[in-house]
C-alpha cells in the first residue's frame, strides 16, 4: 500500500481511500453486480430471446440514436450559447446564464409535460409545424427534443470555463499573423475547446441514454416506434418480469460502458498525439 | 518614415485614452513608448497593429495609409506580455502559423523556421510544446513567430513583464540583437524606465493619453521639458526657484549657477528647477564645497543600494525657503532632498544619520513650463482654504507635482496693492467683480489667474483664445503646460468680426493654421481649430454655454481688454473654469515653452 502513497501535506490517505472504495461499492458496484447476478439467473437462450426481441432492438436503436443526435445538437448549439455568454456582455446575460441550469433543477416529468404541451399538434409551436407535415410530439423527433433539453446544461457548463481560457490575445496574435476569422476559429479556438466539448458531449449522451421522465410524456410510447429502452424496463417490471428487466438493463450497461470508454480513449489518444508530436 | 502617426485619437466611453498623438518613427529605429499603466501606451500600440480602431487621425506604415486596414493585412508582428502562444501547437507549428496561413510550401516554411529559431537561439526546439518551455524561451518563440512573415514593423507590448530580472536582461539583449540584425523598425511599450534606457534609440513618454515628449534617452533625462518626464525618468528633486538675470535663487539664497538654458532676464519670475539626486554634493561645511552652495541640511535617511548610497537630507536653511516638492510626495511640507552618492564620494566624506552637512549643486535644469505653482487668493481665510481644497485644483496640483499656497487679501479687487507680489498662478472663485479681481491680481505680480467655480468637473474641452498676436506665444505655452496634465481636447477658437471682408477671411484662416503648427512644433500640443464670426466675448460665451465641463484659456496683453473687449464674459459670474494669461506687450517670452 505504501508504495502507492504520494507524499502529500494532507494526512489521511488510508481514510480517504477507504471512503472512496466504500462509497463506490455501496452506491455503484454492488447494485450493478446485483443486476449482473440477476441477469445470470436466466439461461443463455432466454437471454438471447430478450436481446433479439425486435421490440427491444427497436427501443435500443431509438434510445442510443436519439441520445447521440441530441448530444450532437447540444455540442453545436451549446457551443454557440457558451460562446455568447462568455464573449458578449448584454442586458440579461446573467439571467440567461441562470436559465441554462433550469433543466437540472426541474423534475424531468415537468419538462416532459411542458414540451408535450408546446409541441403537440395544437400546441404553440406544434401548430406552426403541423402545416409542413412535421410532427414532433409522439414521434422520435419528440424524443430528440426532450433529450436535447435535458442535455444542454452539461455541454454549456463544460465548455464555458474552457472558452474563458481562450484569451483574446490568442485571437489577436493569430489575426496579426494574417489569419482570417474562419482560420482563427478552426485552428485556434476549436482545438483549445475540443476536450471540454467532448466531455460535455459524453455527459449529455450518457444522461440521454438514461433519461426516462421527460421522454415518456412526449414520446407517445408506441411499441417499435417511440418506445425507449428505460420504458421497456419499467414495462417489464410492471409485468413482474424482473429477469427480463435485468437483462435489458445489463445490456444498456454494457453498451453505455463501451461507448463512454471509447470516447474517453479517444480523448486520451488525442492528448497523447499532442505530446507524441512534442517528442 | 516607417511609422507615421498623425493626430491619433482613441476614445473610450467618451473620454480619450489616446489623445492627439503625432509621431514619426524612422526606418530601423527602436522606439520605446514609456508611461505609467493607464497612460494609453498599449492602446496606441494596438492601434498601430490594427487591433483597435481609431476615432480620429491617421496611421501610415512605410508611407501606406493603413488607418482603415485590418490587422490581418497590415503586416505587423506583435508580441504580447503573456506570450499568447498557441498551446496546442508545437514551437515549430507556432512559428510556421503565419506561413501556413499564407500557403507557403513546406520546404520553404521549414527553412524559414530554422532561420528564425537560430535568430532567437532556440535551435532544435522545433518539436517542443510551449508548456515544456520556460517563460523566457516562450517569449523567444513569440518573437520568432511574430517575425515569420517578415513584417514591416515589430511591435512589443511589455514583453518582459512576466519574466524575472535575470531572464529579462538576457531576453532584452536578444531582442536588441535581433532588431539590429534585421534592422526592423520596432516599437516597444513599457512602464520600466530602465528598460527604456537600455533598449531605445528614442523614447516617447506618455501620460494621460498624451505623448508628452520624445527624444534620445540621454537628452530626455538631462533636459526634460515637463514635470512628469522629469520625475518619471529617474528620480528628481523639484524646487520652486526665482530666476533672475544673475541666476537662480532659492528663497533668499542665490545659487551662483546659470541654468544650461538661455535665461529670460527681462522679468524675474518663479520657475521650477530640477535637481537630479546625483548632481547634489555633500560637504562638512560650506567652505569645503567644490560646487555652488545651496543650503545646509541634516541627513535623515540612508539606504545602501550596492553601487550607490541614497540619502534623504532635510534642508535647514537656504533653499529650505524654496518650498521644495519632494519626489513623489507633493503634500509634504518639509523641504527634503534626495541625494545619491557614489562609493568614491562616500569614502571622501562619510556621513552618519543626523549629521549636519552643507549642500552644493553641480547642475540645475529649469523646466520651460510657465505654470510653476498655485496661490489661492480670497478676502477671507476660510474662503481661501475652501477653494484650496477644490477637487480640480488639488488634482491639477498633484499631477503637476506642485503646491497650492493660500493668501488672504482683504484688498482683493480694491484700490490698495498687495504687500508682497503674488507668485505663480493666482486662483479665485468667480463673483460679480471677477474682471476687477483678475485685473488686481495681474497688477500684483500674478502672471496667470485661474477662475474656478465651486461646482466644476474636470473639463473635457479646453477652448483657447487670445486677444491679439502679442498674447499668442504665452497663451500657447500656458495651454500646452496645462493640457499636459488635464485629459481634455484642445480647441483654438479664432474669431473674426461679423461681416469680415473677403480679404480678412483668408487671413483668419491662416492665423488658425499658424496657431496649430506653432502649438505642434513648439509645444508638442495637438489642438483643433475653429473659426467664428462675431464679437469675441459673446462667441466664446455662447460656445462655453453649449456644453458643460469646458474651460477657457484667454490670453491678453492689455489689462483694459478685461473691461472692454471681453466684458461680456464677466457680465455674470462665469460658470466655467477660466485661465487668464497676461503678458504686457513687449515682455520677452524666451523661456516659455
**Mean pLDDT, rounded, for B44-70:** 93
Residue A147 is part of a domain; what is its CATH number? 1.10.3720.10
How many contacts, defined by CB atoms under 8 Å, are there between A and B?
73
Among B227, B246, B270, the domain-final residue is B227
Query: Which of B194, B227, B260 is the endpoint of a domain?
Result: B227
Closest CA to B19 of B551, B528, B456: B528
More confident call, B433 vs B59: B59
Closest CA to B570 of B526, B533, B529, B540: B540
The answer to whether residue B405 is domain-embedded is: yes
For B355, the domain range is 234-366
Whether residue B385 sits in one domain with residue B286 = no
User: Cβ contact (<8 Å) for B78 and A179?
Assistant: no
Q: Report yes or no: B496 and B531 within 8 Å, Cβ to Cβ.
A: yes
Distance between CA atoms of residues B153 and A60, nearest Å: 62
Q: Please state, in angstroms and rounded to a whole number, the distance separating the CA atoms of residues A97 and B202.
A: 49
Q: Is residue A276 part of a domain?
A: no
> What distance in Å separates the CA atoms of residue A174 and residue B100, rounded to the nearest whole number?
12
- Residue B588 falls inside a structural domain: no
Range of the domain at A65: 61-227
State whether B451 and B559 are in the same domain: yes
Q: Percentage of chain B with pLDDT > 90?
A: 39
CATH no. for residue B276?
2.40.50.100
The answer to whether the CB atoms of A278 and B51 lie below 8 A apart is: no
> How high is the mean pLDDT of chain B?
86
Q: Of B223-237, B265-279, B394-408, where does the model show the most confidence?
A: B223-237
Angle between helices A190-210 and A140-165 (to 10 degrees): 140
Categorize the per-residue pLDDT at A29 as very low, low, confident or very high, splitting at 50, 70 and 90. Answer: confident
Whether A2 maps to a domain, the answer reads no
| Residues B390, B536 share a domain | yes
The verdict on residue B290 lying in a domain is yes
Residues B393, B331 share a domain: no
pLDDT one-digit tens code per residue, A52-88: 888 999 999 999 999 999 999 999 999 999 999 998 8
Distance CA B229, CA B211 (A): 11
- How many domains is chain B partitioned into structurally? 3
The answer to the question of residue B592 being in a domain is no
CATH code, domain carrying B95? 3.40.50.300
Helix axes of A168-176 and B135-147: crossing angle, nearest 10 degrees? 40
Q: Are residues B191 and B270 in the same domain?
A: no
Interatomic CA distance for residues A152 and A104, integer angstroms: 9
Q: What is the CA radius of gyration of chain B?
A: 27
Q: What is the grid cell recorded at B436?
A: 476687477
- A279 contacts in B (CB within 8 Å)? 127
Q: Give a yes or no: residue A36 inside a domain.
A: no
- Same structural domain, B349 and B210: no
Both B30 and B176 in a single domain? yes
Cβ–Cβ below 8 Å for B145 and A179:
no
Kindly state the average pLDDT of the residues B519-539: 84
Residue A224 CB partners (closer than 8 Å, separation 6+): A54, A55, A58
CA dist., res. B37 & res. B39, Å (int) = 6
Q: Which residues of B touch A175 (CB under 8 A)?
A: 51, 70-72
Exposure letters B486-497 (e unless 16+ CB within 10 A, then b)? bbbbbbbbbbbe
Instruction: Report B:128-187 residues touching A (Cβ under 8 A).
Output: 128-129, 132, 142, 145-146, 148-149
| B246 pLDDT above the threshold of 80 | no
Domain of residue B411, CATH code: 3.40.50.12370
Helices B106-119 and B135-147 cross at an angle (nearest 10°) of 130
Eight-class DSSP state of A28: I
**The C-alpha cell that represents B31 in the structure block:** 522606439
**Would the pLDDT of A272 be above 50?**
yes
Residue A80 lies in a domain: yes
pLDDT, one tens digit per residue, over B453-502 is 888 788 889 999 998 888 888 899 899 888 888 888 889 998 888 776 77
Residues B348 and B453 in one domain: no
Q: Is A71 within a domain?
A: yes
Q: Which position has the grid cell 410510447? A: A221
What is the structure's pLDDT at B593?
A: 38
Interface of A with B (CB under 8 A): 167, 169-170, 172-180, 183, 187-188, 191-192, 274-275, 277-279
pLDDT tens sequence across B413-439: 777 777 777 878 899 988 888 888 898
B62 and B159 in a single domain? The answer is: yes
Whether B78 and chain A come into contact, CB under 8 Å, resolves to yes
The pLDDT tens digits for A36-53 are 888 888 888 888 888 888
Last residue of a domain, one of B200, B227, B254: B227
Q: What is the pTM of this model?
A: 0.77
Classify residue A194: in a domain, yes or no.
Answer: yes
> Nearest-5° angle of CA B348, CA B306, CA B188?
125
Asked if B494 and B360 sit in the same domain, the reply is no
- Residue in A177, A274, A279 closest to B97 by CB: A177
Q: Is residue A155 part of a domain?
A: yes
Nearest one of B79, B83, B45 to B163, comparing CA atoms: B83
| Pair B418, B303 in one domain | no
CB B179 within 8 A of CB B188: no
Residue B443 vs residues B8, B23, B244, B384: alpha-carbon distances, Å: 41, 41, 20, 20
Q: How many domains does chain A have?
A: 1
Q: Show the beta-strand stretches assigned E in B64-164.
A: 64-65, 76-79, 153-157
Report yes or no on A205 lying in a domain. yes
pLDDT digit string, tens, across residues A173-186: 999 999 998 999 99
One domain for residues B221 and B251: no
Q: Do B127 and A279 touch (CB under 8 A)?
A: yes
Nearest-by-CA chain B residue for A172: B51
Query: B378 is written with which cell numbers?
Result: 480670497
Amino acid at each position: 500500500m505504501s508504495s502507492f502513497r504520494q507524499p502529500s501535506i494532507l494526512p489521511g490517505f488510508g481514510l480517504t481511500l477507504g471512503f472512496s472504495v466504500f462509497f463506490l461499492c455501496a452506491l455503484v458496484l454492488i447494485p450493478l453486480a446485483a443486476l449482473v447476478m440477476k441477469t445470470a439467473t436466466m439461461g443463455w437462450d432466454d437471454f438471447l430471446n430478450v436481446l433479439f426481441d425486435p421490440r427491444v432492438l427497436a427501443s435500443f436503436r431509438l434510445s442510443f440514436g436519439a441520445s447521440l443526435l441530441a448530444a450532437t445538437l447540444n455540442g453545436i448549439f451549446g457551443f454557440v450559447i457558451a460562446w455568447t455568454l462568455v464573449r458578449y456582455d448584454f442586458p440579461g446575460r446573467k439571467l440567461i446564464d441562470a436559465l441554462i441550469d433550469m433543466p437540472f433543477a426541474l423534475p424531468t416529468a415537468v419538462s416532459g409535460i411542458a414540451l408535450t404541451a408546446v409541441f403537440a399538434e395544437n400546441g404553440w409551436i406544434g401548430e406552426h409545424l403541423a402545416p409542413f407535415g412535421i410532427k414532433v410530439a409522439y414521434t422520435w423527433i419528440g424524443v430528440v427534443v426532450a433529450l436535447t433539453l435535458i442535455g444542454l446544461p452539461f455541454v454549456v457548463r463544460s465548455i464555458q470555463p474552457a472558452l474563458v481560457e481562450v484569451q483574446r490575445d490568442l485571437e489577436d496574435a493569430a489575426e496579426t499573423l494574417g489569419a482570417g476569422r474562419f482560420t482563427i476559429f478552426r485552428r485556434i479556438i476549436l482545438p483549445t475547446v475540443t476536450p471540454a466539448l467532448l466531455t460535455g458531449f459524453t455527459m449529455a449522451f450518457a444522461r440521454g441514454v438514461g433519461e426516462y421522465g421527460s421522454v415518456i410524456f412526449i414520446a407517445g410510447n408506441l411499441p417499435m416506434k417511440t418506445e425507449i429502452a428505460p420504458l421497456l424496463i419499467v414495462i417489464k417490471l410492471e409485468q413482474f418480469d424482473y429477469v427480463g428487466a435485468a437483462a435489458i438493463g445489463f445490456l444498456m450497461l454494457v453498451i453505455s460502458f463501451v461507448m463512454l470508454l471509447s470516447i474517453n480513449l479517444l480523448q486520451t489518444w488525442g492528448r497523447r498525439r499532442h505530446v507524441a508530436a512534442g517528442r | 518614415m516607417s511609422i507615421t502617426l498623425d493626430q491619433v485619437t482613441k476614445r473610450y466611453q467618451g473620454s480619450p485614452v489616446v489623445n492627439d498623438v503625432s509621431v514619426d518613427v524612422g526606418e530601423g529605429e527602436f522606439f520605446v513608448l514609456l508611461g505609467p499603466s493607464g497612460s494609453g501606451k498599449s492602446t496606441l500600440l494596438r492601434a498601430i497593429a490594427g487591433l483597435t480602431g481609431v476615432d480620429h487621425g491617421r496611421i501610415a506604415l512605410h508611407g501606406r495609409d493603413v488607418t482603415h486596414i485590418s490587422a490581418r493585412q497590415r503586416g505587423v508582428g506583435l508580441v504580447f506580455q503573456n506570450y499568447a502562444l498557441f498551446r496546442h501547437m508545437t514551437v515549430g507549428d507556432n512559428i510556421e502559423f503565419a506561413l501556413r496561413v499564407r500557403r507557403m510550401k513546406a520546404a520553404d516554411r521549414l527553412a524559414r523556421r530554422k532561420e528564425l529559431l537560430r535568430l532567437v537561439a532556440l535551435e532544435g526546439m522545433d518539436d517542443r510544446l510551449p508548456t515544456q518551455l520556460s517563460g523566457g524561451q516562450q517569449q523567444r518563440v513569440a518573437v520568432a513567430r511574430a517575425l515569420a512573415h517578415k513584417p514591416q514593423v515589430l511591435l512589443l507590448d511589455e514583453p518582459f513583464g512576466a519574466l524575472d530580472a535575470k531572464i529579462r536582461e538576457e531576453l532584452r539583449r536578444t531582442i536588441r540583437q535581433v532588431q539590429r540584425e534585421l534592422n526592423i523598425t520596432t516599437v516597444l511599450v513599457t512602464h520600466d524606465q530602465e528598460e527604456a534606457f537600455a533598449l531605445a534609440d528614442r523614447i516617447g513618454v506618455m501620460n494621460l493619453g498624451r505623448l508628452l515628449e520624445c527624444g534620445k534617452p540621454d537628452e530626455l533625462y538631462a533636459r526634460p521639458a515637463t514635470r512628469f518626464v522629469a520625475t518619471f525618468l529617474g528620480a528628481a528633486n523639484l524646487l520652486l526657484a526665482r530666476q533672475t538675470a544673475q541666476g537662480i535663487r532659492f528663497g533668499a539664497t542665490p545659487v551662483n549657477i546659470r541654468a544650461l538654458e538661455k535665461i529670460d532676464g527681462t522679468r524675474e519670475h518663479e520657475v521650477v528647477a530640477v535637481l537630479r539626486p546625483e548632481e547634489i554634493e555633500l560637504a562638512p561645511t560650506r567652505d569645503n564645497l567644490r560646487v555652488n552652495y545651496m543650503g545646509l541640511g541634516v541627513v535623515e535617511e540612508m539606504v545602501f543600494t550596492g553601487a550607490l548610497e541614497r540619502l534623504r537630507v532635510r534642508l535647514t536653511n537656504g533653499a529650505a525657503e524654496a518650498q521644495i516638492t519632494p519626489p513623489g510626495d507633493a503634500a509634504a511640507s518639509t523641504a527634503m532632498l534626495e541625494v545619491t552618492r557614489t562609493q568614491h564620494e562616500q569614502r571622501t566624506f562619510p556621513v552618519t544619520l543626523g549629521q549636519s552637512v552643507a549642500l552644493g549643486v553641480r547642475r540645475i535644469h529649469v523646466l520651460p513650463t510657465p505654470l510653476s505653482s498655485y496661490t489661492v487668493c480670497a478676502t477671507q481665510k476660510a474662503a481661501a482654504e475652501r477653494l484650496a481644497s477644490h477637487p480640480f485644483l488639488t488634482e491639477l496640483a498633484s499631477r503637476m507635482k506642485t503646491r497650492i499656497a493660500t493668501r488672504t487679501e482683504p484688498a482683493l479687487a480694491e484700490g490698495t496693492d498687495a504687500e508682497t507680489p503674488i507668485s505663480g498662478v493666482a486662483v479665485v472663485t468667480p463673483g460679480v467683480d471677477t474682471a476687477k479681481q483678475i485685473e488686481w491680481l495681474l497688477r500684483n505680480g500674478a502672471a496667470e489667474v485661474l477662475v474656478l467655480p465651486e461646482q466644476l468637473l474636470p473639463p473635457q474641452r479646453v477652448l483657447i483664445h487670445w486677444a491679439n498676436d502679442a498674447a499668442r506665444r504665452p497663451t500657447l505655452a500656458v495651454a500646452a503646460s496645462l493640457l499636459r496634465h488635464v485629459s481634455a481636447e484642445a480647441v483654438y477658437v479664432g474669431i473674426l468680426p461679423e461681416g469680415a471682408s473677403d480679404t480678412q477671411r483668408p487671413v483668419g484662416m491662416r492665423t488658425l493654421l499658424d496657431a496649430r503648427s506653432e502649438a505642434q512644433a513648439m509645444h508638442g500640443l495637438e489642438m483643433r481649430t475653429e473659426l467664428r464670426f462675431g464679437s469675441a466675448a459673446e462667441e466664446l460665451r455662447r460656445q462655453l454655454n453649449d456644453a458643460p465641463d469646458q474651460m477657457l484659456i484667454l490670453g491678453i496683453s492689455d489689462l483694459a481688454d478685461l473691461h472692454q473687449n471681453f466684458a461680456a464674459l464677466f457680465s455674470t459670474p462665469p460658470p466655467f473654469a477660466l485661465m487668464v494669461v497676461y503678458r504686457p506687450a513687449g515682455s520677452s517670452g524666451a523661456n516659455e515653452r
